[in-house]
Amino acid sequence: MQMNSLGDPGTEDYVIGESQFSGEVGHPLALAYVVVLICQDGSAELEVNFQPYRMMKGDFLVLAEDSIALITSKSDDFSCTGYRLNRSAAAEVAAVLPSSLFVFLNRFPFFRPDQGLSAFLQAWESQLAMIQGQCSSYKRVMFINHLQNLFLWLCAEVDLEAGTKNDYSRPEAICWKFWELISAHCKQHREVAFYAGLLHITPFYLSQLSKKYFNDAPKTLIDRQVVLEIKKQLGQPRKSVQQIADELHFADASYLGKYFKRHTGLGLSEYRKS
């Protein structure tokens, strides 16, 4: 299945698909609660949490909702299989995993498998394809267990203590916090000054940092997250436009519609029908 976004899978607990990341270069990726990417073809230059990586066939990446991930360049044939989990599914996967693994993955999200891990990963993907394609009963449980196997294998292969070190610069730490604040407050606040105030810096300095580390203005990042939230809400057919406007603190449904069309080129009803 073709996957057009790495964002929240909506009403599904998880989504599996292929992505070439068309149109995604140079901007922070919108992410589901947990995303696992395995490169199938081509190559790409990425930045994840301010660290550069070159991703090639066989490499894989584990991202969280609050990861700051950008594709800076890619080959025309770059393609990944993506596994997107919502919070509920991710919590079930995490239930048997050591907490030190999450700290490690936050620090070291990128993996270039050695021969042993590469063989395991190929077998893991093959088994998962069989689960998804042939099993009708217990498919969800088997998927959760299968992801647990992947992460438990990683636990045995890596030095989890290495994840406890933190040497982010102050500007990087501010950007990390800004990204977290957008996710936490975008439903209520869309102005740059609000976030600058929480970070105890000026809007001008926040703009400088945002353009340097995210390649976008802070207002662009905020609006992009708000639009993703609107799309998520529009995916719930029983929720009225007025309810969405109220929940996202728009003055009324008309203003919500104008805001959405300005950023997407589509009307609310048009998007819902697509």
pLDDT digits (tens, 9 = 90+) for 95-118: 788 878 887 888 889 999 888 888
Q: What is the mean pLDDT of residues 200-205?
A: 96
Q: Is 134 helix (H, G, I), strand (E, B) or coil?
A: helix
170-273 CATH fold: Arc Repressor Mutant, subunit A (1.10.10)
For 224, counting Cβ atoms within 10 Å of its Cβ (0-12 exposed, 13-18 middle, 19+ buried), the class is middle
- Ordered by start, the domain boundaries in the chain are 14-164, 170-273
Q: What is the average per-residue pLDDT within 158-172? A: 74
Quick check: 16 pLDDT over 60? yes
pLDDT at 140: 85
Quick one: 14-164 is in which CATH superfamily? Regulatory protein AraC (2.60.120.280)
State pTM to two decimals.
0.70
> Using one digit for the tens of pLDDT, what is the confidence trace for 113-153?
888 888 999 999 999 989 888 777 788 889 989 999 999 99
* Average pLDDT, rounded, for the chain: 88
Q: Are 104 and 163 contacting, i.e. CB atoms less than 8 angstroms apart? A: yes
State the pLDDT at residue 60. 93
Distance CA 146, CA 100 (A): 20
Count of CB atoms situated within 10 Å of the CB of 150: 18
CA atoms within 13 A on the CB side of 28: 33
